[in-house]
Amino acid sequence: MWELGLSGRAIVTGAGQGIGRAIALQLLAAGCHVQAIGRSGEKLLTLADEAKVPADQVLATALDIQDTAAVAQTLAKSQADLGPPRYLVNSAGVLKSSRLLDTPEDALANTIAINLTATVVMSQIVARQMIEAGQGAIVTIGSNSGTTPRLLLGGYPASKAGLEMAMKCLGLELSEYGIRCNIVSPGSTDTPMQAAYQGDTKSRERVLKGDTGSWRLGIPLGRMAQPEDVADLVLFLLSDRARHITMENIVIDGGGTLGAR
C-alpha cells in the first residue's frame, strides 16, 4: 500500500465546509492533529465526530482571517501549547458573482482582502513558525479561473491569479529552509460556493457540457470535481512523496481548461 506518511500538526483554513472541510477530514483520517479554522465554530465542532477521531485531535478555531492581530495571537498560542505546525492548507476564500465591469469597489476590495491579502499574511505567520521548526509544507487553494478568464466572477479570478504568484514567490523564499509551497487550482467543484454561483440545474448542465455564450468549454471528464478529489491531491503535495515539488500550480478541473496555461 502506498502510504503518504503524514503526521504532526496541520492548520487548515476554510475548514467549515467544501474543499477545506474535505481536506481537514482526510488529514484527521491520516492521523494528523488539525487546527481547523473557519468563520463558523459550530461547523468546526462536528469534524471529529464525522472523521471518527478523538475530540482532542481537532482544535476548532472560529477566526476571521482578515483580523491580522487575532490571527497572530491565536497561532502564537497554539504553537506554544501544541508545538509548531508541519502543514498549512489555505482554503478560505469568497466568491461574489458579478461582471467585473460592474463590481463595486468595496466588493472588489473585500475579495482581494480575503482571498489574497489575508491568505498571504496567514502564510507569513505560519511559515515563520515552520522555519523555527526546520520543516513544513504549504498548499494553497487557487482556481483555474486564475489562469483562464471567466465571466461573472467579479474580482475572484484576479485575486486567485495574484495568490498564485504570491505563493510561488513565498515558495522561492522558503526553499532555503526546505519548506515547500504549492498551489492546487480546482475548476468547478461540488461545494456550497459553486452552488451559490451556478444557480439552477440548467446552469450546472452548461458547466458540464459547455456554453458558447459564456465561452465555457465544458468538462471533458463529464462531471464536477468532488471536494475529496481536491483533498487527495492536497494531501499528496503535503506529504514527503512530493518532496521535490515546490512552487507549482496544479490544475484539477477534469480537463475544463484543456490543459491551457
Quote the distance between the C-alpha of residue 178 and its chain's center.
21
Q: Name the grid cell of 210.
A: 459547455
Domain ranges of the chain: 9-252
Tens-digit pLDDT profile for the chain (261 aa)? 478 999 999 999 999 999 999 999 999 999 999 999 999 889 999 999 999 999 999 999 999 999 999 999 999 999 999 999 999 999 999 999 999 999 999 999 999 999 999 999 999 999 999 999 999 999 999 999 999 999 999 999 999 999 999 999 999 999 999 999 999 999 988 888 777 666 655 677 778 877 877 888 889 999 999 999 999 999 999 999 999 999 999 999 989 888 877
Which among 164, 123, 119 has a CA at the least distance from the CA of 143?
Answer: 164
Place of cell 458540464: 208
Strands 33-38 and 180-186: unpaired
Q: What does DSSP assign to residue 100?
A: G
Rounded to an integer, what distance in angstroms lies between the CA atom of residue 251 and that of residue 38?
Answer: 24
What local confidence, expressed as pLDDT, does residue 260 receive? 76
Which residues are marked as active site?
156
DSSP characters over 16-80: TSHHHHHHHHHHHHTT-EEEEEES-HHHHTTHHHHHT--GGGEEEEE--TT-HHHHHHHHHHHHH
What local confidence, expressed as pLDDT, does residue 201 receive? 58
Rounded to an integer, what distance in angstroms lies between the CA atom of residue 89 and that of residue 181?
Answer: 10
What local confidence, expressed as pLDDT, does residue 206 receive? 78
Residue 239's CB is within 10 A of a number of other CB atoms, namely 17
For domain 9-252, say whether CATH 1.10.645.10 is its number: no
What local confidence, expressed as pLDDT, does residue 127 receive? 99
Run of H or E residues at 89: strand 87-90
What is the b/e burial string over 30-68, where b = at least 16 CB atoms within 10 angstroms of the residue's CB?
A: bebbbbbbbeeeebbeebbeebebeeeebbbbbbebeee
What local confidence, expressed as pLDDT, does residue 45 receive? 96
Which sign does the torsion angle of CA 189, 87, 246, 173 carry?
positive
Rounded to an integer, what distance in angstroms lies between the CA atom of residue 207 and that of residue 222?
Answer: 10
What are 183's strand-pairing partners? 140, 249
DSSP characters over 239-252: SGGGTT--S-EEEE
Which sign does the torsion angle of CA 193, 6, 169, 128 carry?
positive
